[in-house]
Structure 1
C-alpha cells in the first residue's frame, strides 16, 4: 500500500517537472519566432522604455507628451508624495494577492507564489512616478512612433474598468506609487510579462509571441540608460 502511494507521488512529481520543463521550453523557443519582426516604417518620436528587475517588467513612458498627460489618468492625489522632479511613469500588471502582500522579495512565500501562478484572483495595475535616476538599471529602449504610443495608451486604458482609474485605498509600496483596479485575472499563462508583451505586440513592437518571463519581453530590445 505504501509503495503504491510512493509510486503515485513519484509519478505526480515527475509529471509536474515535465510540464514545467515544457512550459520553459516553449517560452524559450518562441523568443526566436517574434511577432512584428519587421520594424515600423514610422519614425520613432517617443522615448519610452521597458523596465525589468529580472523577473517583472513595467512599461515606462514620459509623464507628459503630445499624446497624453498621465497625471490626468493617474492623479498625483492618489500618491503619497510624488517627487517634483519625476519625469516618467512606470505601469505594470500583477496578481492582486501577490502585489499587495509582497512589497519586497523578502516578503515572498511559496504559498503566495503558487497562488499567483494557479490564478483565480483579479489583476491589479501598479503605477509609479519615477525620477530619471531610477532608470539606471534594467532599462531597455523602446522607441515608439506616435501611432504606436497612442496604441499603448489605449491598451492601458482598456485594462482599467470602464477606462477609469480606481485606486486601491491605502495600498502603496512607497511615496511615489499606487495600485489600481484592473480588468482580467492573473495565472500561469497570463503573467505580468504576458500583459506587457501583449501591449507591445498590439502596438507593432518586435517581441516574442508569448512572454511569460521578463526575458521574453526584453530579448529583442536594446539595453539603454535614459
Structure 2
C-alpha cells in the first residue's frame, strides 16, 4: 500500500516538474523568435520622439514614460493628489499591472509567502495597476531603453488607459508602498498565463516593439532591449 502511494507521489512530482519545464522552455524558445523583428519595427535614431524605458526588479516589469511628452500628460490621468508626496525632481512615471493580493500584501520580498505566490499563479484575483512617479536617478539600474516613435508612444499610452475600467483611474484608498506611488483598479485577472510581464510584453508587441512572442518572465520582456549603463 505504501509502495503504491509512493509511486503515485513520484509520478505526480515528475508530472509537475515536466509541466514547469515545458512552461519555462516554451518561454525561452519564443524569446529567440520575437515579434516585430523586421527592419520596419526598428525606430531610427532620428525618428525617435519619446525616450521611454522598461524597468525590471528581476521578476516584475514596469513601463516608464516621461511625465509629459508629445501631448501626453500622465498627471491628468494619475493626479498628484492621489499620492502622498511626489518627489519635486520627478520626471517619469512607472506603470505596472499585477495581482491584487500580491501587490497589496507583498510590499517587499520578505513579505512573500508560498501560499500567496501559489494563489497568484492559480489565479482568481482581480488585477491592479501600480503607478509611481520617479526621478531620473531611478533609471540608473535595471532599466532598459525603449525608444519610441510618436505613433508607438500613442499606442502604448492607449494600452495603459484601456487597462483602467471605463478608462478612468480609480485609486485604492490608503494603499501605498511609499510617498510616490499609488494603486488603481484595473481590468483583468492575474494567473499563470497572464502575468505582470505578459501585460508589459503585450503592450510592446501591439506598439510594434521587438519583444518575445510570449513574456511570462521579466527576461522575456527585456532580452531585446538595450540596458541603461550606470
Q: Same fold (TM over 0.5)?
A: yes
Aligned-pair distance for 1:66?
Answer: 2.1
Aligned to 1:196: 200
Aligned-pair distance for 1:34?
Answer: 0.3
Aligned-pair distance for 1:225?
Answer: 4.7
The match for 2:225 among 204, 221, 226 is: 221
Moved over 2 A (4+): 39-42
TM-score by length of 1: 0.98
Report Cα offsets for 1:4-40 as digits up to 9, x if no partner.
Answer: 2221111111100000000000000001100000224
- The answer to whether the 8 A contact 2:99-2:127 is kept is yes
Aligned-pair distance for 1:84?
Answer: 1.1
Shifted more, 33-42 versus 190-199: the winner is 33-42
User: Tell me, what secondary structure is at the counterpart of 2:48?
Assistant: coil
Aligned to 1:77: 81
Structure 1 residues 159-174: aligned runs within 5 Å? 159-174=163-178
- Distance in 1 between the 2:200 and 2:191 partners? 14
User: Tell me, what secondary structure is at the counterpart of 2:4?
Assistant: helix
- The answer to whether the 8 A contact 1:191-1:212 is kept is yes
RMSD: 1.1
Gap runs ≥5 in structure 2: none
Aligned to 1:21: 21
Aligned to 2:143: 139
User: Tell me, what secondary structure is at the counterpart of 1:35?
Assistant: coil
Aligned to 2:116: 112
Aligned to 1:97: 101
- The answer to whether the 8 A contact 2:55-2:64 is kept is yes
Report Cα offsets for 1:121-159 as digits up to 9, x if no partner.
Answer: 111100000011111110000000000000000000000
- The answer to whether the 8 A contact 2:43-2:147 is kept is no
Q: How many residues align?
A: 226
